[in-house]
Amino acid sequence: MKTHDIDAAVRGLNPHRATDQVSDDAWAELSEAVTRTGTDTAPTVVRHMPRRRLVLAAACTLLIAGVVGATLVNRPHQDQPQALSFTERGDKLIVRVVDLNADPKRYNEEFKRMGLNVTVKSLAVSPPWVGQMITFSARDDEEMGQIGRVEAGEDCNGTLNASDPGCQEGVELPKNYKGHTEIVFGRPAKPGEMYYHFSSTATDKGEVLAGLTVRNKTVAELLPVIKARGVREVEYTGSADNKPLKSVPGNWYVDNAMSPADGLVTLYVSPTPFR
């Protein structure tokens, strides 16, 4: 088995240097998926989403009942709103998620109707990752090489842009694709649900502490500001050893902050300032 972007998993072990963060549960779930064997098992080559995207040419789409769905052939259920959009471009298909809250079974059923052996899994993510592809995988490098990524807002039809349902991130693959692929994308978290994927710092754009400077601020300085952002619970972790702490003095210093769930922030702290 070959695995792409092993360094992404390694970076996840050091939250202060990673570009994104995936919880232990998510790694366990995805690891199980890519290590199963058998002809009908999950794919074994995994590609985690980098920030760069594949640039694709524009493709026409058809507006159906307020969502975008491409008409390739006359298939059942095409007069109903779709969870996915399928857009034809030559001998390729561009597939985008339209309904972020749909049951994944709907996605899989629509792929099956298109004659494609593709399964979709949705995981709870922090707000800036909602609707984004977290990872996609295939059984081998040959299959992986046939799949490309499409960026939200990239080469959309007419006046559609990244805020429109039919113009979100997606994948491009051959219309006659015979491989087995699994796609994992981010969905909004349910109340009380932990994020499987979130940014390496809660101060990133779209996160709960977006734009806030936390490094070398004391805990006492930050707590009122954090709570003013709607944070309901604060946890502490030692910055040096990543061990959880029940409580810390107000004069301890903060190195970083993460938000692993709605309303929850973890502060990485130390008794001395950080260089």
pLDDT per residue as tens digits for the range 58-78: 222 222 222 233 323 334 344
How are beta strands 92-97 and 170-174 bridged, if at all? Answer: antiparallel
Reply yes or no on whether the pLDDT at 80 is more than 80: no
Do 265 and 158 fall into the same domain? no
Full residue range of the structural domain in which residue 233 is found = 201-270
Do 119 and 236 fall into the same domain? no
Least confident of 93-97, 166-170, 217-221: 166-170
Reply yes or no on whether the pLDDT at 26 is more than 70: no
Do 114 and 154 fall into the same domain? yes
State both tokens at 69.
Answer: 């769905």
Do 170 and 43 fall into the same domain? yes
- In Å, what is the CA distance from 141 to each residue of 18, 47, 170? 26, 10, 20
Give the CA diameter of the chain.
Answer: 67
Q: Which of 153, 188, 223 is the last residue of a domain?
A: 188
Do 212 and 80 fall into the same domain? no
Is residue 80 in a domain? yes
Do 15 and 117 fall into the same domain? yes
Is residue 42 in a domain? yes
How are beta strands 20-22 and 45-48 bridged, if at all? Answer: unpaired
State both tokens at 65.
Answer: 């009942």
pTM for this one? 0.65
Do 33 and 113 fall into the same domain? yes
Reply yes or no on whether the pLDDT at 102 is more than 90: no
Is residue 32 in a domain? yes
Do 159 and 27 fall into the same domain? yes
Q: How confident is the model at residue 35 (pLDDT cuts 50, 70, 90)?
A: very low
C-alpha–C-alpha distance, residues 238 and 173, integer Å: 45
Do 127 and 236 fall into the same domain? no
- The pLDDT, as a whole number, for residue 153 is 77
Is residue 93 in a domain? yes
Q: What is the pLDDT of residues 126-151, one digit of tens each?
A: 999 988 888 888 999 999 999 988 88
* Total of domains in the chain: 2
Do 50 and 83 fall into the same domain? yes
Is residue 169 in a domain? yes
Region 201-222 average pLDDT: 97
Do 211 and 172 fall into the same domain? no
Do 92 and 209 fall into the same domain? no
Is residue 135 in a domain? yes
Q: Which of 188, 222, 253 is the last residue of a domain?
A: 188
In order, the DSSP letters of 197-257 are EEESSTTSTTSTTTT---TT-BHHHHHHHHHHTT--EEEEEETTT--EES---TTPEEEEE
Q: Which of 188, 222, 257 is the last residue of a domain?
A: 188
Q: Which residue has the higher pLDDT, 164 or 54?
A: 164
- The pLDDT, as a whole number, for residue 155 is 62
